[in-house]
Amino acid sequence: MAVLEVLAYPNEFLRKKAQPVTRFDEPLRTLVKDMEDTMAAEDGVGLAATQIGADLQLLLVHPYAFKGDEARDEPVLVVINPEVAWESPERITAEEGCLSFPDVFIQVSRPAKVRIRALDLEGRPFEVEGEGLGARALLHEVDHLNGVVMIDHVSFLSRQRALKKHQKNQADLVAAAKKKKAEAAKAPKV
């Protein structure tokens, strides 16, 4: 299928609350496949539709988040119109990253366990429970669908450090792209 561009923060679309999915059709299945390809290309554990500019309550989580390495070849979990049904009172602070903040990792406190109600790709209701990384991944992606990003969960100082690192990373990416373009322009034409 296709690898899509992951929007980098501060793209305004990342602050948008996504619209519910109402059509369970071939374009939706194509979008899910493209999101799977994108998540795999970016080596991500999860991806929300808003991160690729789609205004839909749709997210994917790799089964690795729930079962570890033994689940590497299992199908990706497709979660549509998610609703947090329950969160454990126990919280865990752990390192969290985001494809919209490449190479930025911060300590975020989240519930240790969570249960999500949602629809599958055929529009059938189901529930999924996550613990540890599974809970973190589900909640992180649900946040995206509500216009919330990981830096919203940390102190002002931690947020400023993360943003400074993110801005440097983005500047480095732009410089590398310019250099590659200049080198391509100098290459002999055949």
In the chain, what are the domains?
12-154 (3.90.45.10)
Report the chain's mean pLDDT, rounded to a whole number. Answer: 94
Residue 190: its pLDDT value, please?
Answer: 66
pTM: 0.91
Note the pLDDT of residue 12: 96
Query: How many angstroms separate the CA atoms of 53 and 23, rounded?
Result: 18
Q: Comparing 11-20, 44-53, 69-78, which segment has the lowest mean pLDDT?
A: 69-78
Rounded Cα distance, 188 and 190, in Å: 6
Q: Are 104 and 172 in contact (CB under 8 A)?
A: no
What sign results for the dihedral spanned by CA atoms 103, 10, 115, 158?
A: positive
Poorest-confidence range of 36-40, 41-45, 173-177? 173-177
Which one of the listed residues 12, 83, 90, 141 is annotated catalytic?
A: 141
State the average pLDDT over residues 54-80.
94
The answer to whether residue 95 is catalytic is: no
Per-residue pLDDT for 142 more than 90?
Answer: yes
Around Cβ 136, how many Cβ atoms within 10 Å?
Answer: 23
